[in-house]
Amino acid sequence: MPWQEETCMSLRREFVSLTRSKTVSLSELCRRFNISRPTAYKWLNRAAEDTAERFEDRSRRPSTSPTRTSPEMELAVIHLRQQHNSWGGRKINRVLKERGHRHVPAPSTITHILHRHGLIQARTTGEGAVYHRFEHEAPNLLWQIDFKGYFQTQSGRCEPLTILDDHSRYNIILHAMKTTNTVPVKQALTDVFRQYGLPHRINADNGQPWGSPSARAHGVSQLTAWLIRLGIKISFSRPYHPQTNGKEERFHRTLKTEVLKGKYFTDLKQVQRAFDEWRVIYNHVRPHDALELEVPASRYQPSTRPYPEIIPDIEYSPDDKVVNVISNGEVRFKRRVLKVSNALTGLPIAFRQVHDQKNVYDLYFCHHSLGRVDLNQI
C-alpha cells in the first residue's frame, strides 16, 4: 500500500532510521508501517544514494556558507578551552577578541563548538555539579505520555497527545486530537504500538483518561486496564507534581516555542501538518543538549515486543484467590464488599495473602498492584 500523502517524507525517513537498529526484522517493520518489502527496499536504496536530499529539509541549504566558523577559528577556540577548562563561551569570545582574532564567533556559537568536540562536561559547570539527570538505560523501558494543554483553532479545540521515550527523548507520537476521550486515544495508541512495539512501562498523570486523582491505588481507567492487559506497566505522576514527567514537560515547552508560539491554525489538519514537519526536525535534525548534542533518533530503537492483535486471557498463580469484579466495580470476598474500579467490571482480580499476616491481602489486576487490604479492619 502507498504511504499516506501528508506524512510520506517523515514516514520514509523514520522507516529507514528504524531499520538500522537491527532489533526488529525488516518484515516486522514493513508490517508495522503497512508497506511491502519491495517498497522498503526502494527507499533503503534511495537513502543510501542521497539521504539528505530525500528525507531532510537540509537539502535546500546552500552549498557554501560564508559566515560559517573557519577551521582555524575552531582550533583557536578548542586550544583556549583546553588551557582553561572552566571557561565558557562568553569568556573565550572576549579573550579571542582581545588577542586580535578576526571574525570571532558569538558566545553561543562557541558553546556549540565546545559541545561538538566534547569539551563541556556537566561536572565542570555549577549547574551540572548539583543536578543529576536521570534516564533509563535503554529505549522503550519508559515512555512518558501526556496531553499538552489545549489551544483553539479556527474550527475548534486541539488537544495535542504526545509520547516521549525516556532514554532517547525520541518523540513517539505528536498527534493533534479533538478530544481526550478514551476511544480516540486508544486508537492512536494502537497505531503507535503497531508501528513501534510495546514499551515496558508508561508513566502518565492522574487525570482522565489515564486514572483518577482521588483514588490512585484503585484508580484504574478503561484505558489503563487495556494497557495493563497488554503487559505494559503503568505508573502515575505524583498529584500536583508534573515534574515527574519532566522530559515530557520540557518537550511541551519546546513544542510551544518552536511550533505553536505566535501561530494560529485553521483546523486540526493544518496543525497536524505542522506537527509532522517539526517532529522530523526534533527527532532527526535538532541537536539535544541532554544527549551531548546528538539527535534523539541516534539513540532510539523500536521495541522487540510486538503488539498482540488478540489480547491473551488473564491468568494468575494457583495460590491466588481469584474473584470477578461485579457491577459498580465491586468485589465480594470473605463476606466483605470492596470497591475496586468500575473499569474492571467483569474482569478477574487476585487476592494474594501477605506472608504471616492473617486476613491481609495484596490485590492485583494482572501484574498491576491495586493496593493492600486488611480484612481485620473492615
209 in Cβ contact with 223 (< 8 Å): yes
DSSP string across 269-314: HHHHHHHHHHHHHHHHTS-BGGGTTB-GGGT----SSPPPSSPPPP
Question: What are the pLDDT digits (tens) for 209-232?
Answer: 887 655 544 568 999 999 999 999
What residue type is assigned to position 290 of the chain? A
Q: pLDDT grade, residue 57 (50/70/90)? A: very low
CA distance 115 to 109: 10
What average pLDDT score do residues 284-313 get? 88
C-alpha grid cell for residue 320? 491466588
What residue type is assigned to position 13 of the chain? R
- Specify the 3-state DSSP secondary structure of 156: strand
**What is the b/e burial string over 196-232, where b = at least 16 CB atoms within 10 angstroms of the residue's CB?**
bbbbbbbbbbbbbbbbbeeeeebbbbbbbbbbbbbeb
- Specify the 3-state DSSP secondary structure of 232: coil
CA distance 335 to 341: 19
Sequence-ordered list of residues with C-beta below 8 angstroms from that of 185, at least 6 positions apart, any chain? 161, 177, 209, 223
What confidence score (pLDDT) does residue 350 get? 96
The sign of the dihedral angle between the CA atoms of 256, 259, 264, 267 is negative
Question: What are the pLDDT digits (tens) for 245-259?
Answer: 788 888 999 899 888
What confidence score (pLDDT) does residue 137 get? 84
227 in Cβ contact with 235 (< 8 Å): no
CA distances from 7 to 10, 111, 272 (A): 6, 34, 9
* Half-sphere CA count of 30, side-chain side, radius 13 A: 14
Superfamily of domain 143-298 in CATH is Ribonuclease H-like superfamily/Ribonuclease H (3.30.420.10)
| 161, 263, 296, 307 alpha-carbon torsion, rounded to 10° | 20
Backbone phi, then psi, for 58, in 5-degree steps?
-65, -10
What average pLDDT score do residues 288-317 get? 90
Which of these, 162, 141, 157, lies nearest to 235 by C-alpha position? 141
What confidence score (pLDDT) does residue 130 get? 38
Cβ atoms within 10 Å of 360's Cβ, excluding its own: 15
Pairing of strands 156-165, 151-153: antiparallel
What confidence score (pLDDT) does residue 47 get? 80
What average pLDDT score do residues 54-71 get? 60
Residue 86 has pLDDT above 60, yes or no: no
The sign of the dihedral angle between the CA atoms of 33, 38, 43, 45 is positive
CA distance 60 to 235: 44
Sequence-ordered list of residues with C-beta below 8 angstroms from that of 105, at least 6 positions apart, any chain? 69, 73, 77, 93, 113
Question: What are the pLDDT digits (tens) for 233-282?
Answer: 998 876 555 556 788 888 999 899 888 988 999 999 999 999 999 999 88
Domain boundaries, given as residue ranges, for the chain: 5-60, 71-130, 143-298, 321-377
Long-range contacts of 354-363 (CB under 8 A, 24+ apart): 359/334, 361/321
CA distances from 233 to 117, 143, 227, 325 (A): 39, 10, 8, 21
What average pLDDT score do residues 115-120 get? 80
Question: What are the pLDDT digits (tens) for 199-208?
Answer: 999 998 877 8
**Bridge partners (DSSP) listed for residue 350:** 322, 364
What confidence score (pLDDT) does residue 54 get? 60
The sign of the dihedral angle between the CA atoms of 84, 85, 91, 95 is positive
Question: What are the pLDDT digits (tens) for 343-376?
Answer: 999 999 999 999 888 999 999 999 999 989 999 8
Locate the DSSP E strands across the chain: 143-147, 151-153, 156-165, 171-177, 201-204, 233-236, 321-324, 330-333, 336-339, 348-353, 360-365, 368-374
248: left (phi over 0), alpha (psi -120 to 50) or beta: alpha
Highest mean pLDDT among 9-13, 53-57, 128-132: 9-13
